[in-house]
Amino acid sequence: MPQPDIEELVGDASPSFDHVLSCVFGIRDHESRTYLTLIEHPGSTVAELAAVLDRDRSNVNRSLSTLREKGLIDRRRRLLDSGGYVYQYTAIPVPEAKTLLHDALDEWVAGVHDSIDQFDPDGE
């Protein structure tokens, strides 16, 4: 499935939050679902998320990497009593995600306005 992009939002009068998330951040729908699942299950491990999402652990791990790159989730290492460690993932709070979305959209809209303002069919 192709990655949604911001231009898809232009024709949608009332897009869902997860669709906006996908389009604005250039992530896939399953990555948006992973973020939304982490809101409901903060501190989850890859194995726990894979079970909740009914997805393969390697796919969940890739989604988590993408979400971390976009600044939408945090990762914390927890030491295990038996030795070793496990990573726990938590979504950034929704208000912070909304701020990131608004900022990204404002930047995109400013670029569109610049393109409109700079258009000169006569080359003058």
Report H helices in the chain.
Answer: 17-25, 29-40, 46-53, 57-69, 94-118
Distance CA 47, CA 105 (A): 34
Tens digits of residue pLDDT in 66-118: 999 999 999 999 999 999 999 999 999 999 999 999 998 899 889 889 989 99
| CA 35 remoteness from chain centre | 7
**22 and 69 Cβ atoms separated by less than 8 Å:** no
pLDDT surpassing 60 at residue 13: yes
This prediction has a pTM of: 0.80
- 25-80: pLDDT as tens digits: 889 989 999 999 999 999 999 999 999 999 999 999 999 999 999 999 999 999 99
Which of 53, 44, 59, 54 has the alpha carbon at shortest distance from 91? 44
In the structure encoding, which two tokens stand for residue 111, read together? 């670029």
Provide the pLDDT for residue 7.
60
38 vs 3: CA distance, rounded Å: 21
Averaged pLDDT, 6-19: 72
